[in-house]
Structure 1
Amino acid sequence: MAMRDYSTKLDAKIALKTPPLEELSSILSAELKKNFVTVNVDIVDCPNLRAPPFRMSGAGIGNDLRIGEVGGIGNLFPSPKTDKFFNLKKICETCEMPKAFVFGPGAGPFHIVGSNCEMVADADFTADHQDNVATKVSRIVPNGKGYEMSTINSADFVLMANLAISDGFPAAKVLRIRAAKRNGEINYSGAIREALIGYYGESLISLAGVFLIRKGKVRVHVMPDFPGCPWETTEEIDNEWLKYFEMEAPLVCASVLHSNDTDGYKLRLEHTHCYSEHGDAGHYHYDTTPDEVEYEGYFDPQNLLSYRYGVDV
């Protein structure tokens, strides 16, 4: 079956509230202490994301951040829609930022990799005539007993992605969110989202960024190849199909989160994928060593608009 590119099938532009960094810093400093023993939130220049340990294609989170919400569980359940794909460069163009740095969690291009895979999208289109794609993917190895990570230069992806899109300016101000020794029930990215809900209520606030897991271990899943028949419930996906692993720091995570979806756009409220220099990579769930875990994140609120692509286009 021939695959079709759905990168221009935009459903909606969503206006957002964009709080100042100073306000967010104060809110997060107070609220994250409900889940972590040590919390420090400040405003800093974005670190060089091209340098270790990030090793990304773009220099920084940048200015004029916007989020592309592409696909969703409707492209996976009850059966995968394997006849459709998306392209990062075309997504940036449709989101009105053709010269962009784009990153975020999603499903990697099985038609390129040769098998189903997790993805951290990573592409820099800011330079004229010199695209730089360094997407990280992780997949289950052929014998089914482990996983492997690789970097690919294809801008394609499938099923779903939550993409941070910006001008990639290297020295833009961002929130630095450090937290250590989890003593609550909520993971790092979830605790950030809960803080936004507690303060802003039904207002839609969206953040995107990268965070480091400097110490500890985390629970991560990697998708295997698709089954031969449809699923009957999403619980089958979570409990029987996905392959779970405990992975070790240091890990680099790309994360996109929204405070709520009260207007029914079917937003993915939180999505985080990770990768590393030692080969651990996949979909982040939570840390498994709360007494020793250390997080250090760099986030920015989305500016004005979110771009929503169809859940099951």
Structure 2
Amino acid sequence: MLSVTKHALKKPDFAPVCKSFEKSLAANYEEFKVEVVDCPDLTAAPWKLALPGLGGEPCVADVGGVPNLIPTPNVEKQYNLDTVAELCGLSDGYVIGASAVASKLLGKNAELVNNGKTGKDGVVKSMYTKIIDDKGNDYECKEYPHNEFGLLGNLFLCRGLPGKVIHVTAKIRKGSLNFINCLNKGLTEDFTDPVAVGGTFLLTNGKAKLHVMPGFSCSPLHTEDDINNWLRFHEMSGPLTHTSVFVSKDPGLDLRLEHSHCFSDHGDGGHYHFDTTPDTVCYEGYFNLADNICRIDPPEVTHLIGRD
């Protein structure tokens, strides 16, 4: 049995969140727009998600955690999207987000974009990016037809219903923050209580620095330098479709506050860090606010290393 703590949120209205986003975007991008719109069909191109909308009992789940990977991997920590959805009270719901693959199924570690519907009518459209040969840097982005994931996961769950969402566009970066850092910075500064957000965004033009985890390290990883020397970093090209979860503040649940993974049709994908082409970069995203946070199976021994 997995432990679960459900933390109800004092969810704000969209209007003050939009103002917060606008303030942060103004300091980081030359051009931007924030508006409340009807959610488009996210199953259509270019999004290609399993869920049509972001509405219906929206929830953020933080499962496991980085301490299951660092300093040494606990490969026995394997999770199932159906189980996570049940623990969140969203059986037969939709799940998107960022996690690691179930290494026992894939044969090695890799970055995973969770994207599926749970329950008896479940469908999985998840994608993973892995290093092909740990002695080199070649990678591949492929379909992952499994409900299982490993070690950690930052997930957004809902009923997939249509409804109002926050639409954000931004281009020509002039500041130092990545797209999600920028949005979350405003929430952290403007709201006393935690605000949890989930959704999807496109890097529609430009390039980004991403990492892809290779095989598990043979030696313990104790510092950020150890982690960065182990990871494989690449500059990859848009368009890149991301699933993302971010939380403004940790209400004492040992959360990872931001996590975004991406995939593409042209073979690029991984863990998003920041764009590398500030003069040409363009973003577009759709986001919803969560009603609650579900903290599932937190590590008994924790730390803050490797959570960027």
Distance 1:232 1:196, change over 3 A: closer
In the alignment, is the contact (CA less than 8 A) between 1:75 and 1:311 conserved in 2? no
User: Residues of 2 paired with 1:37 and 1:258: CA distance?
Assistant: 25
Deviation, 1:27, is 2.3
Matches within 5 A, 1:57-68: 57-68=50-61
Does 1:246 pair with 2:246? no
Deviation, 1:57, is 1.5
> What amino acid is the match of 1:167?
R
After superposition, what is the alpha-carbon deviation per residue over 1:258-293, rounded to whole angstroms, capped at 9, x for unaligned?
A: 1112x3311111111111111100000000001110
Deviation, 1:91, is 0.5
From 288, 293, 296, the counterpart of 1:309: 296
Q: In structure 1, the residue corresponding to 2:146 is in which secondary structure?
A: coil
Deviation, 1:153, is 1.4
In the alignment, is the contact (CA less than 8 A) between 2:92 and 2:121 conserved in 1? no
Structure 1: tracts of 5 or more residues without a match: 1-7
Does 1:174 pair with 2:162? no
From 195, 198, 201, the counterpart of 2:189: 198
User: Residues of 1 paired with 2:2 and 2:225: CA distance?
Assistant: 29
Give me the TM-score of the superposition, normalised by structure 2: 0.94
Deviation, 1:70, is 0.5
Matches within 5 A, 1:108-127: 108-125=101-118
User: Residues of 2 paired with 1:213 and 1:287: CA distance?
Assistant: 8
Matches within 5 A, 1:16-35: 16-35=9-28
Residue 69 of structure 2 corresponds to 76
Residue 104 of structure 1 corresponds to 97
In the alignment, is the contact (CA less than 8 A) between 2:61 and 2:155 conserved in 1? yes
- Cα RMSD of the aligned pairs, angstroms, is 1.3
Distance 1:231 1:125, change over 3 A: closer
Residue 165 of structure 1 corresponds to 157
Does 1:273 pair with 2:261? yes
In the alignment, is the contact (CA less than 8 A) between 1:216 and 1:289 conserved in 2? yes
Deviation, 1:165, is 0.5
Structure 2: tracts of 5 or more residues without a match: 301-308
From 211, 227, 236, the counterpart of 1:237: 227
From 118, 122, 127, the counterpart of 1:131: 122
User: Residues of 2 paired with 1:212 and 1:123: CA distance?
Assistant: 18
Deviation, 1:77, is 1.3
In the alignment, is the contact (CA less than 8 A) between 1:49 and 1:55 conserved in 2? yes
In the alignment, is the contact (CA less than 8 A) between 1:77 and 1:234 conserved in 2? no
Task: Tell which deviates more after alignment, 219-228 or 129-138.
Answer: 129-138
Deviation, 1:144, is 2.7
User: Residues of 2 paired with 1:99 and 1:145: CA distance?
Assistant: 38
User: Residues of 2 paired with 1:234 and 1:292: CA distance?
Assistant: 30
Q: In structure 2, the residue corresponding to 1:232 is in which secondary structure?
A: coil
Residue 178 of structure 2 corresponds to 187
> What amino acid is the match of 2:153?
A
Residue 264 of structure 1 corresponds to 252
Deviation, 1:146, is 1.0
In the alignment, is the contact (CA less than 8 A) between 1:73 and 1:311 conserved in 2? no
Q: In structure 2, the residue corresponding to 1:31 is in which secondary structure?
A: helix
Deviation, 1:215, is 0.6
User: Residues of 2 paired with 1:112 and 1:54: CA distance?
Assistant: 26
Q: In structure 2, the residue corresponding to 1:255 is in which secondary structure?
A: strand
Q: In structure 2, the residue corresponding to 1:74 is in which secondary structure?
A: helix
Give me the TM-score of the superposition, normalised by structure 1: 0.92
> What amino acid is the match of 1:114?
G
In the alignment, is the contact (CA less than 8 A) between 1:175 and 1:299 conserved in 2? yes
User: Residues of 1 paired with 2:7 and 2:67: CA distance?
Assistant: 20
Deviation, 1:31, is 2.6
After superposition, what is the alpha-carbon deviation per residue over 1:82-128, rounded to whole angstroms, capped at 9, x for unaligned?
A: 112000011001111101010101111111122110001011137xx
User: Residues of 2 paired with 1:69 and 1:125: CA distance?
Assistant: 17
Identity %: 35
Deviation, 1:203, is 1.2
User: Residues of 1 paired with 2:217 and 2:256: CA distance?
Assistant: 24
